[in-house]
Chain A
Amino acid sequence: MVETTATAEPLAHYPLDALAAGTRAIGAARLTALGPVSRLAFRGREAAIQAAGEAFGVALPREANRRNTANGRHALWLGPDEWILLAPGADPAPLFAAIETATTGLPHSLVDVSARSVTLEVAGSKAAYVLNQGNPLDLSLDAFPVGTSTRTLFHKAEIVLSRITPDTFHVDVWRSFAPYVWEMLEDARRELA
């Protein structure tokens, strides 16, 4: 869901910059640090949900642990009144303003958390196997189909795990936990080298 790997403005530093530069090429489970994303945490009552989705351009999914995608943007159900809105490569400020305007007077909370986390991608025929070294969920396609996004764990770090294609997963992780998750993924896929 985050296709760009371009580096951001010169002022920005990302926690995986150094680690991602030294990664091994392992085809069965490729590991990539993805580029900047606008991330907005949206919480709200029923009345605000539809307005927020319309302003963002992606309807907020009402089914648990599902992800809706439109025009390169994604809305992830994280809880019954909680969504994370992802807009790769976009500037968060105008997006924030647009949604706030559309939801004025409707009980809700919108918080810019773009810098809170980073996203990395695990892709390849063994991606699920690698993730299951630290994630306790059943990642079979039946139990965790494409379009699933959920908060869960990878070893001792909390993550948001998304299945993009049968063999592609995205892991969104708070920035200070990102090197830990990265190193654990490197360790997990080492046997596939």
Chain B
Amino acid sequence: MLIINCPWCGARPEIEFRYGGEAHVARPADPAAMSDQEWADFLYNRTNPKGLHAERWRHIHGCGRYFNAVRDTVSDFFVTTYKAGEPRPDIGESGQ
């Protein structure tokens, strides 16, 4: 069971959290203006990197907040966590 550093509550056990998919995939401001292909990309296509991955977590059984984390998908270790709305920290590129 991983320890995840909630930006609000600090280090807490994984069981209190829910995974929320890739981070920084913002809902388009005007969906109607998008082509079917652009909309499908937004809905379904994700980077799935081997290496550093910015992703969403929710401390659902804690403060309830969604936040973002950078996790290494190879080692499963978290590099950092940060509040929703903050930019992705500059800590290297995601993998291929």
Contact = CB atoms under 8 A, between A and B. Distances in A.
Contacts of A153: 15-16, 61
B60 to A, nearest CB: 9
Interface stretch (A76-84, A109-117, A164-172): A76-84
Contacts of B9: 64-65, 150
Given A64-B8, A136-B1, A79 B65 contact: yes
Interface in B1-25: 1, 8-10, 12-13, 15-16
A79 B10 CA distance: 12
A158 interface: yes
A137 B13 contact: yes
Nearest to A79: B63
A79 B8 contact: yes
A152 interface: yes
14 contacts: A64-B8, A64-B10, A64-B63, A79-B63, A79-B65, A82-B63, A136-B15, A136-B16, A137-B13, A150-B9, A151-B61, A153-B15, A153-B16, A153-B61
Interface of A: 64-65, 78-80, 82, 136-137, 150-153, 158
Interface of B: 1, 8-10, 12-13, 15-16, 61-65
